[in-house]
Amino acid sequence: MDKFSPFSNWWSIVVKGVVALLFGLFAMLETKMAFQTLIYYFGFLAIFSGLIVFVAGLKSRQDNRQTNYWLVEGILDIVIGVMVVLFPAQSAEVVLLFIGAWALFMGIMQFVYAFKIQHYKLIWAFNGAISLLFSYLIFKDPFAGAVALTMIIGIYAFLLGIFLIVIGLKLRNFNQRFDQ
């Protein structure tokens, strides 16, 4: 098994995927809902996601010392989520830039995982590319219609959720084969 290995924490990736998938469905089905509510949902998604990744990183840290990527990702997710939840009115104008920064960071981290983890490199890299493309679109014109961007956010979160669930289950299967 690799020194940097999420195999024992496959469940955290699946949980994160389910949360992202549910958020994506909500955003796609409720596009007319107030943008302010969507801001809160994003904030709580980032906090919850960050907590899961941070705990998984702490748990993995006992086995190896190269889980700092998980800890950094978890901390950044939590900080961005807390900022959005505590300052929703101020965040309304820049929340899309926060989401763009989050997607940029996620894309970079997924490319790092593609190079660090020996299995499913193409899946990690593909999702990294999707995350980077999404962040580019957000940064290019963040205020071009809340409904359209809400739909894009929903599609992104839905696809991210599917990816994370699939990769988490594949890692679980690999972990089960490895333990036998």
Tens digits of per-residue pLDDT, 6-19? 567 788 889 999 99
Between 80 and 100, the more confident residue is 80
pLDDT of residue 60: 78
DSSP label of 132:
H
Q: Which of 9-18, 79-88, 100-109, 135-144 has the lowest mean pLDDT?
A: 135-144
Query: Using one digit for the tens of pLDDT, what is the confidence trace for 121-174?
Result: 888 899 899 889 888 877 887 766 566 777 888 899 999 999 999 999 988 887
pLDDT of residue 81: 93
- What percent of the chain shows pLDDT beyond 70? 84
pLDDT of residue 5: 56
Which residues are within 8 A (CB) of 5 and not within 5 positions of it... i.e. 6 or more apart? 60, 63, 64, 117
User: Which of the following CATH numbers is that of domain 7-179: 1.25.40, 1.10.3470, 3.40.50, 1.10.10?
Assistant: 1.25.40
Cα gap 175→178, rounded to integer Å: 5
Cα gap 174→62, rounded to integer Å: 20
Annotated domain spans of the chain:
7-179
Phi, psi (deg, nearest 5) at residue 118 = -75, -15
